[in-house]
Structure 1
Amino acid sequence: MPLVRSILFTVAFYLVTAAIMIVGLPALASRRGVIWIAQTWGRVVLRLLHAIVGLKVEFRGLEHRPAGAVLVAAKHQSALETLALVTVLDDFTYILKRELMWLPLFGWYLARSEMVAIDRSKGSRALALMNEEAAAAMADGRRLIIFPEGTRRAVGAPPAYKFGVAHMYDRLGVPCLPVALNTGVFWGRRSLTYRPGTAVIEFLPVIPPGLPRDAFLAELQRRVETASDALVREAGGSGAVHPAAHARQS
């Protein structure tokens, strides 16, 4: 039965996504319009997920979201948080790989919404270009979302935070909003089935600007990993808690 529900959701997800992208084409006239379409898409998908699979998303710590520009640094365990975060963060901007801009139709929306795209072919220059685009987004007061580990990590996997988030924090001079979660317990990064229950995405108290980069990265990792481990245990996940989660790995 879980597999059947998962297949039904997957089919519904792609049909709804295609329909929203086609109907929403007029929204490409403005960035605000595209953001509205993205948030509508996210809310519809979350409702489908709850109705078909029995998986709902609970947000905690919403009161920790500061006004104005902020760097949102989230744990990344599945695709679920990618679409869920946009429903509770106004005027958001994702940091993503440039190749996503080449996708038919979907890439048009990404380009019009002015996401920060990383061109990995530029090597070390890519970080400088990313920081420049991120600074422009901060000047507009946006919520800049980054996954510090760069890719999805399985529940229980040792943390693998990249130093790029510390460079960005230092360069931007804005608060950092850490985000913990347990989505991987329900929506595995390589799984074809989704587990019913309640996935939690928790916003933690902000880290103020001005910390040295090493101290910031260690604090970010400690907060996110400690809270995520607790959420995984709460959900009955089997991932092991790694001691290295509470200190930056060298």
Structure 2
Amino acid sequence: MSYAIQWLRSLFFVAQMYLMMAVLAVFFTPWAIFDRSGAYAGVRTYCRWVRWTAGWMCGLRSEVRGIVPTDEVLVASKHQSFFDIIIIVSVLPKPKFIMKASLRRAPILGWYAKRIGCIAVDRGKRAEAMRQMIRDVTRGDAPAGQLIIYPQGTRVAPDATKPYKIGTAVLYRETGQDCVPAATNVGVFWPRTGIYRKPGLAVVEFLEPIRAGLNNSSFMAQLEDVVESRSIALMAEAGFDARPVEKRAD
């Protein structure tokens, strides 16, 4: 019975979440058309609304830990569900993403993503996608801000593993920027797919920056180590054992 009630609470939450996306888009679009700050205000307001309503409608509270980056940096984050995007965008002053090309056609999301400077990448054309990504990120008219990339390239469930892709190291080298790793446990409560939202405390934690200048292999090794180890710790804090099967105690 309790599961059914929570599922219904989750259903109402998801329905109003998408309804408010349309409402806020209409409200902020006139400002966003003439001033990019209107687009930032719109996406930030929406993300804060989702965090607030998740708390009282589903019992899913959210928290940001660590020092929120405000400079022009690369943010390399663990990605488990839509909620980690929501939490990150709710606090960064000028967020922009490396995103899959198909999102450009998504109603509302596509236009706002373009307006805040997101970079669309066709993951099916790896070599060309990499070249295009570098051109778009480093072009002179690209808006300044915090460039968010998901090193594993997609959402990864809490009990799954997926290799880190070299594209993050390429961006780190080509931009010459510091990289702020980010860990999370949101997938424990908000799955990659489905309606059900589990009550609890979802956390995104910004970690110590990795300073510019490392070679590819050193950078990738350090990034994966800190993001994975801290995400495992956050998931353990939420009561989920996310260690690889072969490393778990019998």
The answer to whether the superposition gives a TM-score over 0.5 is yes
- 2:190 equivalent to 1:187: yes
Q: Which residue of 2 aligns with 1:176?
A: 179
Q: Which residue of 1 aligns with 2:18?
A: 14
Deviation per residue, 1:135-190 (Å, 9 max, x gap): 24897541000000010111121242111111111111110000001001111112
Q: Residue 92 and residue 138 in structure 1: after superposition, are their counterparts in 2 closer, same or farther (change >3 A)?
A: farther
Q: Which runs of 5+ in 2 are unaligned?
A: none
Q: Which runs of 5+ in 1 are unaligned?
A: 245-250
TM-score by length of 1: 0.91
Distance 2:211 2:126 in 1: 30
Q: Which residue of 2 aligns with 1:132?
A: 135
Q: Which residue of 2 aligns with 1:55?
A: 60
Aligned identity (percent) is: 37
Which piece of structure 1 moves more, 104-113 or 162-171?
104-113
Letter in 2 for 1:55: L
Q: Residue 55 and residue 34 in structure 1: after superposition, are their counterparts in 2 closer, same or farther (change >3 A)?
A: same
Equivalences for residues 185-224 of structure 1 within 5 A: 185-224=188-227
Deviation per residue, 1:105-145 (Å, 9 max, x gap): 33222222221111346541210110122224897541000
Letter in 2 for 1:2: Q
Q: Residue 171 and residue 50 in structure 1: after superposition, are their counterparts in 2 closer, same or farther (change >3 A)?
A: same
Alignment equivalent of 2:29, drawn from 25, 32, 55? 25
Tell me the secondary structure at the aligned position of residue 62 of structure 1. coil
Q: Which residue of 1 aligns with 2:242?
A: 239
Q: Which residue of 2 aligns with 1:161?
A: 164
Distance 2:107 2:131 in 1: 28
Equivalent residues, number: 242
- 2:39 equivalent to 1:34: yes
Q: Which residue of 1 aligns with 2:7?
A: 3
Q: Which residue of 2 aligns with 1:105?
A: 108
Q: How large is the Cα RMSD of the aligned pairs? A: 1.9
> Does the 8 Å CA contact 1:39/1:87 hold for their aligned counterparts?
yes
> Does the 8 Å CA contact 1:182/1:201 hold for their aligned counterparts?
yes
Letter in 1 for 2:83: L
Q: Which residue of 1 aligns with 2:150?
A: 147
Deviation per residue, 1:177-223 (Å, 9 max, x gap): 00001001111112320011111111100000100101100100000
Which piece of structure 1 moves more, 16-25 or 173-182?
16-25
Letter in 2 for 1:89: L
Distance 2:129 2:10 in 1: 38
Tell me the secondary structure at the aligned position of residue 80 of structure 1. helix
> Does the 8 Å CA contact 1:158/1:242 hold for their aligned counterparts?
no
Q: Which residue of 2 aligns with 1:80?
A: 83
Q: Residue 101 and residue 240 in structure 1: after superposition, are their counterparts in 2 closer, same or farther (change >3 A)?
A: same
TM-score by length of 2: 0.91
Letter in 1 for 2:150: F
How far 1:93 moved relative to its partner?
0.8
Equivalences for residues 91-102 of structure 1 within 5 A: 91-102=94-105
Letter in 2 for 1:25: T
How far 1:61 moved relative to its partner?
0.5
> Does the 8 Å CA contact 2:73/2:147 hold for their aligned counterparts?
yes
Distance 1:123 1:159 in 2: 17
Q: Residue 24 and residue 155 in structure 1: after superposition, are their counterparts in 2 closer, same or farther (change >3 A)?
A: same
Distance 2:238 2:20 in 1: 29
Q: Residue 120 and residue 152 in structure 1: after superposition, are their counterparts in 2 closer, same or farther (change >3 A)?
A: closer
Distance 1:150 1:162 in 2: 7
Distance 1:60 1:137 in 2: 33
Alignment equivalent of 1:44, drawn from 49, 74, 81? 49
Q: Which residue of 1 aligns with 2:232?
A: 229
Distance 1:126 1:15 in 2: 33
